[in-house]
Amino acid sequence: MLTLATREQFTTLLDAVVLRGEDDGRNAIIYVATDREPIFVSRQEFRQHVAGYANSLWQAGIQPRDLVVIAHTQNLESIYAFWGALQIGAIPSMFPTLTEKLDPDIYMQNMAELVRLSDVRAILTNDDFAPVLQTQVDCPVYSSARVNGEHTAVSPPAYTPNPDEIAFLQHSSGTTGLQKGVALSHTAVLNQLASYSDAIQLVEDDVVVSWLPLYHDMGLIAGFLLPLVQGIPLVLMSPFDWVQHPALLLRAIDQFGGTLCWLPNFAYNHCARRIRKRDKADISLASMRMFINCSEPVRHDSHQLFLEKFREQGVRPEMLAVSYAMAENTFAVTQTEPGQPARLDVVDRQALTENRTAQPVALDNPQALIQVSCGRPIAGTAVRVLDNQDNELKERQVGELAVRSNCMLTEYYKRPDLRPFQDGWYLTGDMGYLADGEVYVIGRSKDLIINAGKNVYPQDIEAIVNTVPGVHAGRAVVFGVPDEREGTELIAVVAEVQTDDPAARKEIARQIRQTVVQQSMVTISYVHLVGPKWLIKTSSGKIARAANRDKWLREKQK
């Protein structure tokens, strides 16, 4: 296995254990669904499928260093295509697929912009969508029938990657654009996997169970690359299947002896509230080592809800772990100690928000606020906290988190206008503090909303709202509202309109919700329509999000 001790034995991702001719009968992937029996893919079968897709891509004219976007519905086909692209030296990038919730015209416009900015060589997508997409983008679009993993008499020439060249892209950007490609080298990814495997004390008997989308860094790295590079079984399911049937995850853990599972915070609430008593009655989760909370701010009450709901199934406090991660660092920045509950820091709420200090208080203090630790930085990664002048702060002082590591991105792909580093440190945009060497994340320094594990940029949603008939253009504001029940930030829209007619306002609100979900797959929880001059602006004429959020909350409480 790849660890810090064996790091020199792995040069590129093509040294993955699953690609070696060892223990060929062992499962590489077990794909589960609600409507059919599990699909078992052995290591030998995995290699054969990957070789077939490498052949298909080469026959389609894909060359080393070509960028290939994979936009299938999450399935085995997209997995084989990703590894097949790696084998011929192409640069694969998983991308969200078109769903019925998205406006196809907006989706294709965004894909066309991605092709233009990133010089995409080819797009792989579903048979029914490929002909339509081909009319909108300036690169070949290959359907599943065209790139199908079939072998031919002639195989592609062997390709030996340079360890420091770009292996693949993760796309990290707003909800509508998705043009900012995080370019990761083989070296960076292997450094991450070695350090993180040590941090979670990975062993050959571990089994990863995941429903996470592969275009998200948590799904791509923790729920895909890590188990395959390490040669441990991956039990995978569609995120669409999981959302509709969350008990599918628990049944997979029970059936296949799952030990590791990464979840965004909202998933703890979703499982606890949506899984019925009869659906968990015969399930055991005792095999689990860790449910790792990652990708959005961690809430203690979400952990407690999950623990209480599934205590009878064997969930224990020490299983509830935490990691702080980001695509720019390949994945994990920190990790809590395996076998130990995440540390809780009880601090004064007022001191935290007003004085930017994490002042410890007793749990029964009226201002007590429970912060959940994200753990210590993994090996090869350092974290510091900076003030507004980029000066390093002491422990328990709140500032912007900055990260430096040996697993950072090389660049934002073909975006020289974006410079991710400042004196070798990546400024995360996250606010937090250090206490006893552990990292606590308390929110965003910018306006980013994290809703159900997804990064939502308010300006993207505002642009959509401003197109809705009846909304005063340029007079809409979007912000996040933490919700204890859902365990995530909900999204609120406040927009100025001219009409006072209740029926007309109801229709405008409906149009706002519908248009936003069609164009961004983001669900609006609150729509508040107001009259002219309601919104607060800054001295420079910009909409003041924080001030408008506070005003809306005050009115909502009346």
pLDDT tens figures, 532-541: 989 987 644 5
Token couple for 25: 């009968």
Of residues 558 and 19, the one with the higher pLDDT is: 19
Residue 180 is predicted with a pLDDT of 84
CATH number of the structural domain 7-244: 3.40.50.12780
In the chain, which segments carry CATH 3.30.300.30?
A: 449-557
Report the sign of the C-alpha dihedral through residues 288, 290, 293, 298, in that order.
positive
In the chain, which segments carry CATH 3.40.50.12780?
A: 7-244, 248-445
Let me know if 343 is exposed, middle or buried by CB neighbors in 10 A (0-12, 13-18, 19+). middle
Residue 456 is predicted with a pLDDT of 78
Average confidence score pLDDT of the chain: 92
Q: Where are the alpha helices (DSSP H) in 71-168?
A: 76-87, 104-118, 130-134
CA distance 291 to 314: 12
CATH number of the structural domain 248-445: 3.40.50.12780
Lowest mean pLDDT among 6-10, 227-231, 441-445: 441-445
Q: Does domain 449-557 have CATH number 3.30.300.30?
A: yes
Q: Note the pLDDT tens digit of each residue in 87-98.
A: 999 999 998 887
Residue 179 is predicted with a pLDDT of 63
Give the containing element (helix H, strand E) for 230.
helix 226-230
In the numeric block, the tokens 């034995």 are attached to: 9
Length of the chain, in residues: 558
CA distance 210 to 238: 9
Residue 539 is predicted with a pLDDT of 46
Residue 320: closest CA among 303, 300, 296, 305:
303
DSSP state of 129: T
